[in-house]
Chain A
Amino acid sequence: DAKTTQPTSMDCAEGRAANLPCNHSTISGNEYVYWYRQIHSQGPQYIIHGLKNNETNEMASLIITEDRKSSTLILPHATLRDTAVYYCIVRVGGNTPLVFGKGTRLSVIA
């Protein structure tokens, strides 16, 4: 079973920041927080991952609380193409498989 809890759906206005929360209260010390997204009719796509520190790349920022029990994925300027299901996953890393929950369906509205 997935070890994360995410809201079922969220809306965001185009051009605004999208903040997607995730709770992972049972995360272990050696587990990373990964985010993937799945655009309609496509396979999941890696976005970002982190262990303790906040991370940023060209796609998004990841904010992890100090106790590591929750995190937030931030899309700084959401576009219509960011409409997708976003999955928050905790895993050890390496070649361990991904355990997906139901994710958050983000709708970016013009």
Chain B
Amino acid sequence: EAGVAQSPRYKIIEKRQSVAFWCNPISGHATLYWYQQILGQGPKLLIQFQNNGVVDDSQLPKDRFSAERLKGVDSTLKIQPAKLEDSAVYLCASSSLAGVWGKGGQYFGPGTRLLVL
């Protein structure tokens, strides 16, 4: 079974530039999450999708961050314009309703490491 795919793996940009991250969840997983992980901290939820609808985006800085999940499969997360404090690892995860109570929980991708200079 293929895991959660993310690209790019690394990105370096200057402040005020824009950047986009892509996530392809595990096939059939209806729920998709984006987390932000700042160095030395645990991941923090940015946004959660159920199919192509937003379930929770209360912690997404909407003045600069946006996310979409067209067709309920792949998702993109965009930052425009980027700030120095956006330097972090951006993790995508997915989960299946069928697998919720069983082994696995949420499956995470390898993350995209963003450095804003």
Determine if B110 is an interface residue (Cβ-Cβ < 8 Å): yes
- Indicate if the CB atoms of B110 and A42 lie closer than 8 Å: yes
Residues of chain B from 101 to 117 with CB closer than 8 A to chain A in the complex: 101, 103-111
Chain A contacts with B in 88-106, Cβ cutoff 8 A: 93-95, 97-103
- A42 to B93, alpha carbons, bound, how many Å? 12
Is B72 in the interface zone, CB < 8 Å from A?
no
Name A95's contact: one of B4, B97, B107 (CB within 8 Å).
B97
Which chain B residue lies CB-closest to A2?
A: B42
* In the complex, per-residue mask of A10-35: 1 if CB is within 8 Å of any chain B CB, else 0: 00000000000000000000000010
* A45 at the B interface (CB under 8 A): yes
Docked Cα-Cα span, A41 to B109, in Å, equals 11
Q: Looking across the interface, which residue of chain B has its beta carbon closest to that of A46? A: B105
For window 25-67 of A, CB contacts with B under 8 Å fall at 34, 36, 41-46, 49, 57
Instruction: Give the total of B residues in contact with A, Cβ under 8 Å.
Output: 29
B42 and A95 form a contact (CB under 8 A): no
Residue-wise, chain B 80-107 has the 8 Å CB interface mask toward A (1 for contact) of 0000000000010101010011011111
CA distance A57 to B105 in the complex (A): 14
Task: Contact check, B40 vs A95: say whether CB atoms are below 8 A apart.
Answer: no
Choose one: A87, A97, A103; the contact of B45 (CB below 8 Å).
A97
Question: Measured between C-beta atoms, what is the minimum distance from B34 to chain A in Å?
Answer: 10
**What is the size, in residues, of chain A's interface with B at 8 Å between Cβ atoms?**
22
Most buried by B among A41, A57, A97, A99: A97
Our pick among B40, B48, B97 for the contact of A97 (Cβ within 8 Å) is B48
Q: Chain B interface (Cβ within 8 Å of chain A)?
A: 4, 31, 33, 35, 40-45, 48, 50, 55-56, 91, 93, 95, 97, 100-101, 103-111
Residues on A facing B (Cβ under 8 Å): 2, 34, 36, 41-46, 49, 57, 87, 93-95, 97-103
A sample of 18 cross-chain residue pairs with beta-carbon separation below 8 angstroms, ordered by A number, consists of A2-B42, A36-B105, A43-B4, A43-B93, A43-B108, A43-B109, A43-B110, A44-B91, A44-B93, A57-B103, A93-B100, A95-B48, A95-B100, A97-B45, A100-B41, A100-B43, A100-B44, A102-B40
